[in-house]
Structure 1
Amino acid sequence: MLGVKELVDSTCLRSVPFNYIFLKTPEDSTLYYETQNIPIIDFSELTSSNPNERSKAIQQLGDACQDWGFFVLINHGVSETLRDEVLRASQRFFDLSEKEKKEYVGQDIFDPIKYGTSFNVMVEKTLFWRDYLKCYVHPHFNAPSKPPGFRETLEEFTRKGREVVDGLLKGISLSLGLEENYIQKRMKVDLGSQVLAINYYPRCPNPELVMGLPAHTDHGLLTLLMHNELEGLQIQHNGKWIPVYPLPNSFFINTGDHMEILTNGKYKSVVHRAVVNGKGARISVGTAHGPCLESDVGPAPELVGDDNPAAYRAIKYRDYIHLQQSNQLDKKSCLDRIRI
């Protein structure tokens, strides 16, 4: 199927094709500008040798996961030079010819490298204004060999991302009153799945009529996200849609469905969506960090009791991904299927 970028580049597109028109409710179209309330976590404080400073950051991290399922991460140690190179290299990948990119078209959800468009064209009635490259980068690293240097840049970036997530998961474990390495051990994170998703949202002649990605949550524990200079991420908080804007050299962090399952609902996965614009192409780069694919994930026994019974049934991580990726994206519909 023709990608959106190819559609835009190969024609003098003045209006959106009908199969991309996304019907929105008035609630979907109303935005609330509450960005000043979005939590900001300082990674240098979270990993500080000063116990008081670290304790305060752990409390802030727990509050962010419980109240928002989302936060902005600063002072994380990933250089701006590397982040910029990832974005430039991603643009070069999507600038390859359609023939070159189609070398990576896959049919299976678990293909190590997969180039595609929309989300799941096999089941979608409405297509989304998005092309993507998805790579499984851990425990085994996979990435395209084109363009030159792309693979090496992604390998360094995703390795740095794992280091950041390691620090975040330690802080989250402590915020729950658990041993520091609890989540890493229980979820077998050393063998855990890390999926890189690079999303390309081309300029759109009628951005108000389409959706880059609809409202959904992420599988896994945490997602690290960054993008180029064009905004487009919106999160849902207390039923309101809030556009979010990055601080310089920051990451957006989403808590995923498996963090919600593991914590028995104490920490919530965040519903979010991607909108597009008429000014230029937006690129976002996300890495979803999850358990080992073969791990059964259910609520942690330490967080379940007579007064707080298990709210989710355990499910193998691989099976959950298959369930989510085989259906249409629809808020928390996948998570709802395993609620008790």
Structure 2
Amino acid sequence: MEVVRVQTIATTLSNKIDTIPFEFIRPVIEQPAHTTFAGPVPEIPTLDLSDPDTDNLVRTIAKTSSEWGLFQVVNHGVPVDVIKRLQSVGKEFFELSQEEKELYARPPNAMSLEGYGTKLQKEVAGKKAWVDYLFHNVWPPSRNNYKFWPKNPSSYREANEEYAQCLREVVDKLLVLLSLGLGLERNVMREAFGGDDLEYLLKINYYPPCPRPDLALGVVPHTDMSALTILVPNDVPGLQVFKDDHWFDVNYIPNALIVHIGDQVEILSNGKYKSVYHRAIVNKNRVRISWPVFCSPPSDMVVGPLPQLVNEENPAKYKTKKYKDYEYCKLNKLPQ
């Protein structure tokens, strides 16, 4: 059965004001018009990774990872032109003909997330999110399945490989700071997630213009099952984070990387760091695109609260299990 993509639906609705299909209309308790905080947004911390004061960086990352589970990083070392190339080739892919994009479609009932698609997981009452996507691994090279990497534009592979190489240094530095923030040796967290075998899965989220952004969501509320997620946005705002019973807009900072604490870091830290609960809203007139990279342990890696952080006063709050088992439960909405 042919799948109708959201980008196609958006094109057919472009001249029909105030109309979206029923399956995209969220319940009132989820609709952005009713749930987005309208007052002053508290400042979501920004880390300057070039700060020579390591102690200050450690304090800041520990505090924001405990309180927000999300922060932005500037002066991160990824060259601006590398990010621009990543964005350019991703945008070009979604501007291809539908026929060409379908060459990279995620196979039906595939175990892997890789490929071009629309609906990622089953939702209650058959609701849908206003987004199309492309998933593929970008690191380590042994995990890359290039049949899901677009051949058009021709520079797609080079741009993504270059970005992945640069991103690894950022992730390594963040994991060191997070370890130090827990009072641990600098490499504990990185090694607990597999060291050099840490896997990087890229997703491009493509949110077409939506006639009723007040009623729809681009991505429904969730936490990421990864260890860390590093996100590059375009300049169209849309990311929102849930804190203190409110949905807050995340401010766009040019050339910054947005870092999400994921479930595996929360588990490893035994709850000290919080996996951020977040969602994406859409825009009436402009395309929003984001490039999250999910950094996760290898599938057979066993992850649980670090023994150094567990004692009689602070018992383990999470089960220890293989990452692939955690992933299966998360995707199928099963108890952990």
* TM superposition score normalised by structure 1: 0.90
For these two proteins, the number of residue pairs brought into alignment is 324
Assess if the C-alpha contact under 8 Å between 2:175 and 2:189 holds in 1: yes
Distance change >3 Å, CA 202–CA 288, structure 1 → 2 = same
Structure 1 vs Structure 2 CA RMSD: 1.9
Separation in 2, partners of 1:176, 1:152? 37
Aligned residues: percent identity? Answer: 35
Q: Per-residue CA shift, 1:121-148, capped at 9, x if unaligned?
A: 5876101100000112222234232221
Alpha-carbon distance, 1:84 to partner: 1.7
1:174-253 maps to which residues of 2 (within 5 A)?
174-253=180-259
Question: In the alignment, which residue of structure 1 is the partner of 2:101?
Answer: 101
Separation in 2, partners of 1:138, 1:306? 39
| 1:21 lines up with 2:37 in the alignment | no
SS of equivalent to 2:126: coil
Residue type of the alignment partner of 1:173: S
Alpha-carbon distance, 1:110 to partner: 4.5
Q: Per-residue CA shift, 1:184-211, capped at 9, x if unaligned?
A: 1122131122110100000011111111
Residue type of the alignment partner of 1:9: T
1:83-122 maps to which residues of 2 (within 5 A)?
83-106=83-106, 107-108=108-109, 110-111=111-112, 113-120=114-121
The farther-off stretch of 23-32 and 199-208 is 23-32
Assess if the C-alpha contact under 8 Å between 2:14 and 2:211 holds in 1: no
Distance change >3 Å, CA 210–CA 31, structure 1 → 2 = same
Separation in 1, partners of 2:113, 2:285? 33
Distance change >3 Å, CA 5–CA 219, structure 1 → 2 = same
Distance change >3 Å, CA 13–CA 216, structure 1 → 2 = farther
Separation in 1, partners of 2:128, 2:113? 24
Assess if the C-alpha contact under 8 Å between 1:189 and 1:290 holds in 2: no
Alpha-carbon distance, 1:42 to partner: 1.0
Alpha-carbon distance, 1:35 to partner: 4.0
Separation in 1, partners of 2:111, 2:104? 13
Alpha-carbon distance, 1:233 to partner: 0.3
Alpha-carbon distance, 1:157 to partner: 0.9
Q: Per-residue CA shift, 1:260-311, capped at 9, x if unaligned?
A: 1001111010100000010211001100111122111110000000000000
Q: Per-residue CA shift, 1:152-211, capped at 9, x if unaligned?
A: 111111221121000000111111111111111122131122110100000011111111
Assess if the C-alpha contact under 8 Å between 1:246 and 1:252 holds in 2: no
Alpha-carbon distance, 1:33 to partner: 4.6
Separation in 2, partners of 1:124, 1:218? 22
Assess if the C-alpha contact under 8 Å between 1:109 and 1:322 holds in 2: no
Assess if the C-alpha contact under 8 Å between 2:86 and 2:163 holds in 1: yes
| 1:81 lines up with 2:81 in the alignment | yes
* TM superposition score normalised by structure 2: 0.91
| 1:60 lines up with 2:71 in the alignment | no
Pairing partner for 1:42 from 43, 48, 52? 48
Distance change >3 Å, CA 68–CA 93, structure 1 → 2 = same
Distance change >3 Å, CA 302–CA 192, structure 1 → 2 = same
Distance change >3 Å, CA 89–CA 206, structure 1 → 2 = same
| 1:146 lines up with 2:152 in the alignment | yes
Assess if the C-alpha contact under 8 Å between 1:230 and 1:282 holds in 2: yes
| 1:318 lines up with 2:319 in the alignment | no
Separation in 2, partners of 1:180, 1:316? 23
| 1:308 lines up with 2:308 in the alignment | no
Distance change >3 Å, CA 34–CA 296, structure 1 → 2 = farther
Q: Runs of 5+ in structure 1 lacking a partner?
A: 328-333
Assess if the C-alpha contact under 8 Å between 1:193 and 1:293 holds in 2: no
Assess if the C-alpha contact under 8 Å between 2:300 and 2:322 holds in 1: yes
| 1:2 lines up with 2:4 in the alignment | yes
Alpha-carbon distance, 1:248 to partner: 2.1
Q: Per-residue CA shift, 1:214-248, capped at 9, x if unaligned?
A: 11000111111121111000001122111011222
The farther-off stretch of 81-90 and 283-292 is 81-90
